[in-house]
Amino acid sequence: VQLQASGGGLVQAGGSLRLSCVASGSIFRINDMNWYRQAPGMERELVARITSGGSTDYADSVKGRFTISRDNAKNTAYLQMNSLEPEDTAVYYCNAAITRYTGTLSSNNYWGQGTQVTVSS
């Protein structure tokens, strides 16, 4: 199983970006899909979460500006980021709890490679 994140880049404050995270491989079911971020010198923090049923949760710092969504048919999660601020500058990582079937069902936590988001003031 692999997670491939894309969509990062350089944007001015107030601008928007849309991140995508595609899961591929031998997948039986994708449970929660999450976006984390890590700024230089900071710990990795949860930005947004979406369950398999579509329920969402956000960090207080991004509520009202970011929207997480998913397309289960495409094994893809998205993070629409609007009104970006310099404080949003970080490497963004996608994460997912995925169940595989290899004779038996097993669930593991997977990480994508990260995509850089830089917001200039």
Q: What is the pLDDT of residues 41-71, one digit of tens each?
A: 999 999 999 999 999 999 999 999 999 999 9
Mean pLDDT of 71-91: 97
User: What is the pLDDT at residue 93?
Assistant: 98
Assess whether pLDDT exceeds 90 at residue 102: no
Q: What percent of the chain has pLDDT over 90?
A: 98
Mean pLDDT of 81-100: 97
Beta strands in 1-121 (DSSP E): 2-6, 9-12, 17-24, 29-38, 45-50, 56-58, 66-71, 76-81, 90-101, 105-111, 115-120
Provide the 8-state DSSP code for 14: T
User: What is the pLDDT at residue 96?
Assistant: 98
User: What is the pLDDT at residue 54?
Assistant: 95
Token reading at 47: 């930005």
Mean pLDDT of 15-26: 97
| Dist. CA 54–CA 95, nearest whole Å | 16
List of residues 6+ apart from 64 with CB closer than 8 A:
none
Three-class secondary structure assignment of 49-83: EECCCCCEEECHHHCCCEEEEEEHHHCEEEEEECC
